[in-house]
Amino acid sequence: MSPRVTAKLFAGLTAVVVAFQLALALGAPWGALAMGGSVPGVYPPVMRIIALLQAAILASLALVVLCRAGVVLRSWRAASRWLAWGVVALLAGASILNLITPSAAERAIWAPVAVALFIASLRVALSR
């Protein structure tokens, strides 16, 4: 699969996670499926702000991967080389955390997503 297609798949999958975080921020009762299930139900105000920050960070990661693949902001492609490796490192950590979370539901849903995002980001980061 080409880096451009991989980056687009990365962005699409990331959009799902961003939508989930935004839903948490808006009061969806899905707290058991995030942050190790430490806050089941509706997030309190501080956690809603954290969910918004996570959504913004995830959107930024997608932008870096899309830049690296030359899908958007092609003039930034070279500059995105090192940032792409930062995305890979971050998603490696996220994959590990999602695989070891005490929340079985979170592990079942988000571990495969995190691993898929890690693999996709690695594919794009390795591209020339």
Q: Which domain holds residue 14?
A: 3-125
Find the range with the poorest average confidence among 33-37, 67-71, 93-97, 110-114: 33-37
For the chain, the domain total comes to 1
Give the residue among 88, 80, 20, 95 at the shortest CA–CA distance from 54.
20
pLDDT value, residue 91 = 97
**pLDDT above 90: residue 19:** yes
pLDDT value, residue 78 = 76
Cα distances from 99 to residues 85, 102, 111, 122, 125, in angstroms, run 21, 9, 5, 18, 23
pTM over 0.95: no
Round the average pLDDT of the chain to a whole number and report it: 93
pLDDT value, residue 14 = 98
